[in-house]
Amino acid sequence: MKHYEVEILDAKTREKLCFLDKVEPHATIAEIKNLFTKTHPQWYPARQSLRLDPKYAGPLFIYLLFYFRVPFIYGHKYDFTSSRHTVVHLACICHSFHYIKRLLETLFVHRFSHGTMPLRNIFKNCTYYWGFAAWMAYYINHPLYTPPTYGAQQVKLALAIFVICQLGNFSIHMALRDLRPAGSKTRKIPYPTKNPFTWLFLLVSCPNYTYEVGSWIGFAIMTQCLPVALFSLVGFTQMTIWAKGKHRSYLKEFRDYPPLRMPIIPFLL
């Protein structure tokens, strides 16, 4: 039977804390925490967060390799050259911003109530994000790339969609963070706050996914790139599954849950 070797590092100092060998692929994060606690009993499992940073840092790094056109990608005459199209540089800024934001949120904003995801799924997610990052970056930064059909107007509209959805996504994450005190597993119904971006809670259970999908739709319109559109579609499919599961959980747990809400798309889905 295949096993994984897991090395646990301190998130701040990068010092190795523990090395676990023969970890089963189906082992959950919670089970890995328990294994870790056996060697470090002074740290309570529920108060520890295990993260696989390359899930977010990897796509950022891979995209930049294509953006800077490092050797052996497009041919020697294009090594370390720069695109003449403004949209290519803007796309790099947006893509980098998105993953830097996600990385910072993972470190300082998100609070995880459980660790039921199997270790194998985490590696699948990494492959998904890394693979799509390389695929879309290859075409967007290609020397033969052509700008969107409707030029600057299309780019500006798409940029507005991207920025609004990024702000909305961050606002929802902050609202969810404030809903659960640090170290607590208390679950409450999320409601809109004074922040207008959170008003989407009036219509959907998981507006963070709504804004996430919206961001990638904006990016797809901006770049007019098929791999980005496919990435958006696959992401939307997966996030819809997660949103439906979260919505069912809310309905089951809270009898007074707002009946008007849909999982991810207002009035539709």
Residue-wise pLDDT for 223-243, tens only, equals 999 999 999 999 999 999 999
Q: Which residues of the chain have pLDDT under 50?
A: 53-54, 113-116
Please state the domain count of the chain: 2
**Burial class of residue 162, CB neighbours in 10 A (0-12, 13-18, 19+):** buried
Residues 248 and 130 in one domain: yes
Q: Which domain holds residue 39?
A: 1-50
> Does any domain span residue 128?
yes
Contacts of 7 (CB under 8 A, 6+ apart): 16, 18, 19, 20
Residue 9 β-bridge partners:
16
Residues 1 and 94 in one domain: no
pLDDT of residue 57: 83
Residues 212 and 83 in one domain: yes
Residues 106 and 175 in one domain: yes
Residue 183 DSSP one-character state: T
> Does any domain span residue 76?
yes
Judge contact between 208 and 169, C-beta under 8 A.
yes
Residues 119 and 17 in one domain: no
Residue 10 DSSP one-character state: -
Judge contact between 99 and 132, C-beta under 8 A.
no
pLDDT of residue 76: 94
> Does any domain span residue 193?
yes
pLDDT of residue 106: 80
What is the pTM for the complete model shown?
0.80
Q: Report the distance separating Cα 148 and Cα 159, nearest Å.
A: 13
Q: At what angle do helices 119-140 and 86-108 cross, to 10 degrees?
A: 160
Contacts of 134 (CB under 8 A, 6+ apart): 62, 63, 66
CATH of the domain at 19: 3.10.20.90
DSSP string, 119-131: HHHHHHHHHHHHH
> Does any domain span residue 260?
no
Residues in the chain: 269
> Does any domain span residue 28?
yes
